[in-house]
Amino acid sequence: MKSLILVPFALMPAFTQAASLDVRIEGLRSTEGHLLFALTDSAAAWDGDAEARARVRQPVKASTEVVRVDDLPPGSYAVQVVHDANDNGRMDTNVIGMPTENYGFSQNPNVMRKARFEEARFELAADGGTIVIELR
């Protein structure tokens, strides 16, 4: 009888396995303001039509920062980040719509627009991982 009770507990780690993601953000121009970070797990969330998996607002202290997100199931994700240097809560643009604050996406796609989810998508393994985003 004892073995029947212990079996479910022996299987629990397989069901509760969660990964950590470290995102190294490079190329910050100043130590003013905050990073606005969004981790999404679908194209709908990437486009703002669903909730992001995680949102982080983190002060900038150096030219390279790390954002860590814990308790993630393995799977497909994409990250977008903005250096909100003036702390107004959004990415600023000039009169023709070009960004005036640093921004970047996972996979560092070479595009002159907001990347699509598929362009920024990466796979997070069960044991976690680290990605690097180079701000522009």
Domains in the chain with CATH codes:
2-134 (2.60.40.10)
Residue 106 has pLDDT above 70, yes or no: yes
> How much is the pTM?
0.86
The DSSP bridge partners found for residue 95 are none
| Residue 107: predicted pLDDT | 98
* Averaged pLDDT of the chain: 92
CA 66 – CA 55 distance, rounded (Å) = 14
Alpha-carbon distance values, 93 to 75, 84, 96, 103 (Å): 33, 11, 8, 11
Contact 121, 95 (CB under 8 A): no
End-to-end alpha-carbon separation of the chain, Å?
Answer: 62
Give per-residue pLDDT as tens, 13-42: 555 579 999 999 999 999 999 999 999 999
Percentage of the chain lying above the pLDDT 90 cut: 87
The token pair that represents 54 in the structure block: 């995680």
